[in-house]
A and B are shown apart, each in its own frame.
Chain A
Amino acid sequence: MVVFYLLPVYVLLITGLKSFGEVDLSTMWRLPSGLHFDNFIAAFRALKPHLRNSAVMAIPAALISSMLGSMNGYVLAKWKFRGANLIFTLFLFGMFIPYQSILIPLVLFLQRIGLYGSIPGLVLVHVIYGIPITTLIFRNYYATVPTDVLEAARIDGAGILRTYGYIMVPLSVPSFAVALIWQFTSIWNEFLFAIILTKPSSWPVTVALNNLAGSQIVQWNVQMAGALLTALPTLVVYIFLGRFFLRGLMAGAVKG
């Protein structure tokens, strides 16, 4: 199974390292004759501004949607007001709205507020589209935090905001890791919004990668190298944030 799933990665890697002349369907499984790192340099040169665009888009969007999700989750889990569950359900519905179905109103809306074609506009869209999933992640985690701990904080003198800042945020580091990885990866890899809502100068890397292919010939080796470069940041984020998947953070708070 693992080998099966890794086959495309293998092809991606070896093709990225081949010279253009070696790239051929008949030899696609063969190892490269030498290591041609110049493919990577060429791809990097072409993609560099777009990698920057992607970073400028994905990092703030992931951070902001995680923050908002965490605040929503906190209120929905622990400060139950009338209709809190209904609102939560409506939030979840947001996850099931297909991107395609809202494209036209979305474009019109962004044009109206003057963000169409810009990176901030894309950030806004991703933040809003991310709220349902991040709210879900945080609400379900916060629901497991014993209410007694919050009541103790209340008596100790913390209001709704300080309880959030001093107690809930430190306790939800693992949830932040989950939400950030999820959000970063899906925003980074997203293509549809990226191509519809931007102009060439603000293309994220996914769109730029697609346009790396010339109209006549496709330089498969450069294309593959570019794909690897594009995938690299999500891998780095995963490795970096994965360390915060700490287990048992709640241990010792309450008995039983």
Chain B
Amino acid sequence: MAAIVIENVSKVFPDGTEAVRDLDLEIADGEFMVLVGPSGCGKTTALRMVAGLEEITRGTIRIGDRIVNDIAPKDRDVAMVFQNYALYPHMTAHENMAFGLKLRKVPKAEIDRRVKEAAAMLGLDEVLNRKPKHLSGGQRQRVAMGRAIVRSPQAFLMDEPLSNLDAKLRVQMRAELAKTQASLGVTTMYVTHDQVEAMTMGDRVAVIKKGLLQQVDTPQDLYECPVNLFVGGFIGSPAMNMVEVELVWSAGGLVAEFGANRLEIDEEAVAAHPDLAAFKGRRVILGIRPEDMEDASLVRGAPETRRLPAVVDLREALGSELLIHFTVDVPPVLTEDIKELAADTGVEAVQDLEKRAGAHSVFVARLDPRSRVREREPVELFVDTRRVHFFDPNTGLGIYGDTRH
């Protein structure tokens, strides 16, 4: 096992596209690092450069204490799990797992021992003699995993290994995979576009946009202190609600005004974001997570100054929670970051966003299921302004202060 150090790495393809730009990333020994970002952001290219399947245009990659730039994939001592499993179709599960060891001239008894061990760990004992076409999706995924495990490599490289499984199996395999990695303690670089996977599996998560690393942090820090609008909008589901507001200092404290709405910002939040002082009287982007809103009738003593009146457009009852969609009469935030996020959802999302420009924005709130709100009826929402986020509308950067940056 070893640390992976990526220093200043860029990848330029022959056609001139720069898939990865000046990437600096250090993955500690035994760490589970998740690279997350919209499709086409360069995360897979980064992984493939570590694997040796893609040449490095600039910069260096070290695995352990070796610079691996010019080392062939087979000599890097890494194992990779592919998105589509990439099993050898003419070999049984056992042969698939044993192949790498066989090529490395490991004694047959030792190969057998290791394959059996991995198979036991992954629950594959019964199907070792079957060929891939006679295995279920989950079993194929596990064979692909087993092929990596038996090698006991310096590092695991995983390229969206769960994205081809159906939803239920994906959740199960997510837990299994994280558990397996933790018990083996192998340094792991894991690529996904699914932020839920990133949050639940990663020791740390690296968010990438258009080949540029945005932020590397533990899942919780990423969620609580996103460095910019992109990270704020990408991490969390449903996504953070964003609105451009005017900051007004009044006798009662700091107030965010947008449209006909006024929200008093809690002193705690003001104190936690000292840089806000510089934005006095200016416009900032206010970010409110869906769960930081609540049906005011369910909050005892919800202050009048921290409420948002809304009319429910859509109500989604999920049992444990209740999501409501409502519109706010201010134009949606249309920075490049937000467009990038919409583009990941689909072309329609971008068009939709631009159509609404100058009209209204859609907010989503996550309420307690006891709430009695109904569609097309008004509701008073209490906003927990201790936990709101602020971003500079010009740079898209999060506004924090010396306490953090």
**What residues make up the interface of A, taking CB atoms closer than 8 Å to B?**
146, 148-149, 151-159, 162, 166-167, 170-171, 248-256
Looking at the complex, which one of B74, B85, B104, B140 makes contact with A159 (CB distance below 8 Å)?
A: B74
Contact of A156 with B86 at beta-carbon distance under 8 Å, contacts A252-B131, A252-B135 already known: no
Residues of the B chain whose Cβ atoms lie less than 8 Å from the Cβ of A170: 90
Looking at the complex, which one of A155, A157, A252 makes contact with B133 (CB distance below 8 Å)?
A: A252
Residues of the B chain whose Cβ atoms lie less than 8 Å from the Cβ of A252: 87, 89, 131-135, 140
Tell whether, in the assembled complex, residue B89 and residue A151 are in contact, meaning their CB atoms are under 8 Å apart.
no
B78 at the interface (CB under 8 A from A): yes
Contact of A251 with B53 at beta-carbon distance under 8 Å, contacts A149-B86, A154-B74, A155-B79 already known: no
Docked complex Cα distance between A120 and B99 (Å): 39
Q: Which residue of A lies closest to B53 (CB)?
A: A151
Looking at the complex, which one of B51, B80, B137 makes contact with A255 (CB distance below 8 Å)?
A: B137
Docked complex Cα distance between A157 and B99 (Å): 9
Residues of the B chain whose Cβ atoms lie less than 8 Å from the Cβ of A146: 84, 86
Tell whether, in the assembled complex, residue B100 and residue A253 are in contact, meaning their CB atoms are under 8 Å apart.
no
B162-183 to A contact mask, C-beta < 8 Å, 1/0: 0010000000000000000000
The 10 closest A-B pairs by CB, nearest first: A252-B132, A252-B133, A156-B100, A148-B86, A254-B84, A251-B133, A253-B89, A157-B103, A157-B74, A152-B86
Docked complex Cα distance between A252 and B103 (Å): 22
Residues of the A chain whose Cβ atoms lie less than 8 Å from the Cβ of B73: 151, 154-155
Residues of the B chain whose Cβ atoms lie less than 8 Å from the Cβ of A256: 84, 164
Tell whether, in the assembled complex, residue A152 and residue B80 are in contact, meaning their CB atoms are under 8 Å apart.
yes
Docked complex Cα distance between A156 and B87 (Å): 11
Residues of the B chain whose Cβ atoms lie less than 8 Å from the Cβ of A154: 53, 73-74
Docked complex Cα distance between A157 and B153 (Å): 12
A sample of 19 inter-chain contacts (CB < 8 A) reads A151-B53, A152-B147, A153-B99, A155-B100, A156-B147, A157-B103, A159-B74, A166-B103, A167-B88, A170-B90, A171-B90, A249-B90, A250-B89, A252-B89, A252-B131, A252-B132, A252-B135, A253-B132, A255-B84
Docked complex Cα distance between A246 and B80 (Å): 30
A220 to chain B, nearest CB (A): 50
A236 to chain B, nearest CB (A): 27
Residues of the B chain whose Cβ atoms lie less than 8 Å from the Cβ of A254: 82, 84-87
Contact of A255 with B74 at beta-carbon distance under 8 Å, contacts A151-B82, A157-B100 already known: no
Looking at the complex, which one of B78, B88, B103, B151 makes contact with A253 (CB distance below 8 Å)?
A: B88
Tell whether, in the assembled complex, residue B84 and residue A155 are in contact, meaning their CB atoms are under 8 Å apart.
no
The size bracket of the interface on B is 20 to 34
B106-126 to A contact mask, C-beta < 8 Å, 1/0: 000000000000000000000
Contact of A255 with B140 at beta-carbon distance under 8 Å, contacts A155-B51, A156-B99, A166-B99 already known: yes
Residues of the B chain whose Cβ atoms lie less than 8 Å from the Cβ of A162: 103
Docked complex Cα distance between A52 and B342 (Å): 73
A194 to chain B, nearest CB (A): 38
Docked complex Cα distance between A157 and B151 (Å): 11
Docked complex Cα distance between A250 and B151 (Å): 25
Tell whether, in the assembled complex, residue B82 and residue A148 are in contact, meaning their CB atoms are under 8 Å apart.
yes
Tell whether, in the assembled complex, residue A151 and residue B86 are in contact, meaning their CB atoms are under 8 Å apart.
yes
Q: Told that A152-B147, A158-B74 touch, could you supply 20 new A-B pairs with CB distance under 8 A?
A: A146-B84, A146-B86, A149-B88, A151-B73, A152-B80, A155-B51, A155-B52, A155-B74, A155-B79, A156-B74, A156-B100, A157-B103, A170-B90, A252-B131, A253-B85, A253-B86, A254-B84, A254-B86, A254-B87, A255-B137
Docked complex Cα distance between A146 and B90 (Å): 14
**A155, A156, A253: most-surrounded residue (chain B CB, <10 A):** A155
Tell whether, in the assembled complex, residue B104 and residue A251 are in contact, meaning their CB atoms are under 8 Å apart.
no
Residues of the B chain whose Cβ atoms lie less than 8 Å from the Cβ of A250: 89
Residues of the B chain whose Cβ atoms lie less than 8 Å from the Cβ of A249: 89-90
**A148, A162, A171, A248: most-surrounded residue (chain B CB, <10 A):** A148
A88 to chain B, nearest CB (A): 20
Residues of the B chain whose Cβ atoms lie less than 8 Å from the Cβ of A148: 82-84, 86
**Residues B54-93 near A (CB distance < 8 A):** 73-74, 78-80, 82-90
Tell whether, in the assembled complex, residue A155 and residue B88 are in contact, meaning their CB atoms are under 8 Å apart.
no
Residues of the B chain whose Cβ atoms lie less than 8 Å from the Cβ of A159: 74
B350 to chain A, nearest CB (A): 27
Docked complex Cα distance between A249 and B90 (Å): 7
Residues of the A chain whose Cβ atoms lie less than 8 Å from the Cβ of B90: 167, 170-171, 249
Q: Which residue of A lies closest to B80 (CB)?
A: A155
Tell whether, in the assembled complex, residue B103 and residue A156 are in contact, meaning their CB atoms are under 8 Å apart.
yes
Docked complex Cα distance between A153 and B88 (Å): 9
B179 to chain A, nearest CB (A): 23
Residues of the B chain whose Cβ atoms lie less than 8 Å from the Cβ of A167: 88, 90
Tell whether, in the assembled complex, residue A255 and residue B164 are in contact, meaning their CB atoms are under 8 Å apart.
yes
Q: Which residue of A lies closest to B91 (CB)?
A: A170
A74 to chain B, nearest CB (A): 16
Q: Which residue of B lies closest to A250 (CB)?
A: B89
B110 to chain A, nearest CB (A): 15
B167 to chain A, nearest CB (A): 15
Residues of the A chain whose Cβ atoms lie less than 8 Å from the Cβ of B135: 252
Docked complex Cα distance between A151 and B99 (Å): 13
B20-43 to A contact mask, C-beta < 8 Å, 1/0: 000000000000000000000000
Tell whether, in the assembled complex, residue A248 and residue B133 are in contact, meaning their CB atoms are under 8 Å apart.
yes
Q: Which residue of A lies closest to B99 (CB)?
A: A156
Residues of the A chain whose Cβ atoms lie less than 8 Å from the Cβ of B52: 155
B141 to chain A, nearest CB (A): 9
Looking at the complex, which one of A153, A155, A156, A171 makes contact with B89 (CB distance below 8 Å)?
A: A171
Docked complex Cα distance between A225 and B87 (Å): 52
Docked complex Cα distance between A20 and B80 (Å): 73
Docked complex Cα distance between A171 and B91 (Å): 10
B102 to chain A, nearest CB (A): 9
Q: Which residue of A lies closest to B87 (CB)?
A: A253
